[in-house]
Amino acid sequence: MIDQNVSCKNCGHYFTGKYCNRCGEKVYSQHDKSIAHFFEEAFHFITHFEGTFFTTLRAIFTRPGKLSLDYCNGLRKKYFKPLPFFMMMILLYLLFPFFTGLNMPFLYYLDKGSYASRLTTKHTGINIDSLQDKVETVMAVKNFKSVNGSYVFRARYMDSIISATPPLLKLKEKFTRKSEKTSKVLLLVLLPLTALFLALLSFKKRRYFFDHLVLATEINSFYILLGFFMLPLLVSICYKVIPGVAQQLFTEISVGILAYSVIGVFCAIAFAKFYNDKWWWSIIKAIFVMFAHYYIVQVIYKFILFVVTFYLSA
């Protein structure tokens, strides 16, 4: 029988029972200090983690929207919590990056007249736009057989200029090191931005913003799984098995269209389940979300990523 006047070792509160009713600290018995209990806890963690993780993964892939609907309705015990699940996907992406994903190189941002060019010019004192003019002058006398050929030449030539300019080279190297991790951590900004768009599209449903945020987390978890794990793995396998066909088939544009088409289908099913929308409205909303998400990732997220990484590198 538990002592009626147990003092909590964590907060000092007196209580009755096995757990402190103020902070939740457990009263440990002799069994809790045994070697057997040590391994029991390890076994419980593994089985509990495996059960909730794979249940969550299965729900996302087989019944889009159900995870979010159940979670918002209070059925949470059998699932991994949405935000920790999303962060785990980011951690796995950080540890096992198949592709660079959204971690774009410094050179990617340096378009003529862009915010990146202006910031770089201000920081280094080197006029980036004039360097771009120099590259364009050289390219004007070249005869490129394809758009891709001109793009590759431009990137390589600009990179050679940066490598030959110490202030730019130093900034580029710092930016590259910082961007590798910053790009993954900042994926968190996708959640509130996606949720805000979902809230605007479904304002008549009068749901809490929390509900939209949960669904946004599920959608973006699927986005990471598809875009940074499944599709890169598929492309890598195809390049090994059928390299010629893969080179023709998997371009940046085609992979992007494929990814967002799948995400669109996922969203349509999820909206019908989560918001109880009619199918025609779910499909229309999914199309809007596809374009909005693309804009959020390609414009807003990349702008935030560059600015944050730039100031961390400067």
Do 131 and 230 have their domain in common? no
pLDDT for position 50: 59
Do 196 and 278 have their domain in common? yes
Do 92 and 226 have their domain in common? yes
d(CA 295, CA 289): 10
307 is a domain residue:
no
d(CA 98, CA 103): 12
Last residue of some domain: 158, 180, 202?
A: 180
Per-chain mean pLDDT for the chain: 85
311 is a domain residue:
no
Do 232 and 150 have their domain in common? no
Q: Does the pLDDT value for residue 247 go beyond 50? A: yes
- Lowest average pLDDT, out of 25-29, 139-143, 156-160, goes to 25-29
37 is a domain residue:
no
Do 136 and 210 have their domain in common? no
43 is a domain residue:
no
Do 198 and 274 have their domain in common? yes
Our count of domains for the chain comes to 3
Confidence tier at 256 by pLDDT (50, 70, 90): confident
Question: Residue 137 corresponds to which tokens in the numbers above?
Answer: 């002058």
Do 197 and 297 have their domain in common? yes
In angstroms, the first-to-last Cα distance of the chain is: 63
pLDDT for position 62: 94
Do 13 and 84 have their domain in common? no
Q: Does the pLDDT value for residue 185 go beyond 70? A: yes
313 is a domain residue:
no
Q: What is the pTM of this model?
A: 0.81
69 is a domain residue:
yes
Residues 6+ apart with CB under 8 A from 138: 157
141 is a domain residue:
yes
SS3 (DSSP) at 165: coil
* pLDDT, tens digit (0-9, with 9 covering 90-100), for 67-126: 999 999 988 888 888 998 999 888 888 776 655 567 788 888 888 788 999 999 999 999
Contact 191, 33 (CB under 8 A): no
Last residue of some domain: 180, 204, 238?
A: 180
Do 110 and 97 have their domain in common? no
5 is a domain residue:
yes
pLDDT for position 168: 92
- Lowest average pLDDT, out of 75-79, 125-129, 206-210, goes to 75-79
Do 110 and 95 have their domain in common? no
The strand ranges marked E within the chain are 6-7, 14-15
Confidence tier at 42 by pLDDT (50, 70, 90): low
What percentage of the chain exceeds 90 in pLDDT? 43
pLDDT for position 1: 42
What percentage of the chain exceeds 70 in pLDDT? 89
SS3 (DSSP) at 81: coil
Do 188 and 165 have their domain in common? no
Last residue of some domain: 119, 152, 180?
A: 180
Domain extent for 120 = 106-180
Do 198 and 254 have their domain in common? yes
* pLDDT, tens digit (0-9, with 9 covering 90-100), for 1-40: 444 577 787 787 787 777 887 786 777 776 666 666 565 5
* pLDDT, tens digit (0-9, with 9 covering 90-100), for 258-310: 999 999 999 999 999 999 999 999 999 999 999 999 999 999 999 999 999 99
